[in-house]
Amino acid sequence: MKKMQLLMIKSYFGWLSFWNSRKAAEVGFKVFQKVRKKSIREREEPFFSRAEHFTLPYKERQLDCYTLGNPEHEPVLLVHGWESNAGCMTQIADKLLAKNKRVITFNLPGHAFDNYAYSNLLECSDALKIVYDWVNPTQPVSFISHSFGSAVTAFTLDKYNIQADNLIFLTTPNKIEDVFDDFKSLVGLSSKAYRKLKDITQRKLGEKIEHVSVEDQIGRSEFNRLLLMHDEDDKVIPFKNSEAIHRKNKNAQLIPFKKVGHYKMLWNDEISTRAVSFALGQEIVG
């Protein structure tokens, strides 16, 4: 976000927070959910031409879903991150196909080709459950998730009591309260408006945001193993999030990386190879 644009936003929310904290909270909640639509990158485009596209009903809209591989093969679900799309995990999908796995993925609500441009954790979790139910697995399946998609996966497993096989989180947020705190500072919400923003969010979630964290959701979920891979210098999601989740979950393994970036890591050969190997149940040496 450009400095002048950010300054204008802060000025607006500062003024609105002073005059009408409730309105500032409502507008803030809307802005918080805004998805910046990004163009499909050139290296992501082939995925959409190769994959079998199908749709599933979601509210008054539909989910764009994709599958690759033999329908008789064991499925693996891929979940992309915020302001991304299903094609971002092409390299991982191709390596799963080479191991005779079936790939199922989808664009999160409000993302990619969706005409709507707003979304949140709860909506994305409900969408993942719809896709999971469509797969209708006869045994626990593995999930490979990136960034915000890792939080979506953890929230969904916990909320719907889904038993998973292996989980691979390619970076992950942790405490949702930290995300809201960062947003408060970014846009300049007053403390009063921020409290009302939290109230709105908590009514949506059905619980206090202080209680919503990936480390706790994973701790309550049933799965075989968890692999966390994260750049120690990630500028989008701090490495400390994966460290905290790793400390709190005995069957989690953390592999730190250097200079693989946040998005670019999805195209890193070592990371995609390790992710797929772990999904297949193989041991991974750190």
pLDDT score for 286: 67
Residue ranges per structural domain of the chain: 47-175+213-279
Identify the band that residue 270 occupies on the pLDDT scale cut at 50, 70 and 90: very high
Residue 56: its H or E element:
strand 52-58
The whole-angstrom separation of Cα 31 and Cα 117 is 11
In order, the DSSP letters of 220-233 are: HS--SEEEEEEETT
Mean pLDDT of 161-165: 97
Q: Indicate the pLDDT class of residue 9, thresholds 50, 70 and 90.
A: confident
| Alpha-carbon Rg for the chain in angstroms | 19
C-beta of residue 180 within 8 angstroms of C-beta of residue 285 = no
What are the tens digits of pLDDT across the range 61-113? 999 999 999 999 999 999 999 999 999 999 999 999 999 999 999 999 999 99
CATH class of 47-175+213-279: alpha beta
Neighbours of 18 (CB within 10 A): 12
pLDDT tier at 10 (50, 70, 90 boundaries)?
Answer: confident
Helix (H, G, I), strand (E, B) or coil at 51: coil
Mean pLDDT of 256-277: 97
Q: How confident is the model at residue 1, as a pLDDT?
A: 56
Half-sphere exposure of 196 (CA within 13 A, CB side): 14
Backbone φ, ψ for residue 16 (5° rounding):
-65, -40
93/113 Cα distance (integer angstroms): 20
pLDDT at residue 2, as a whole number: 67
Amino acid of residue 171: T
pTM over 0.85: yes
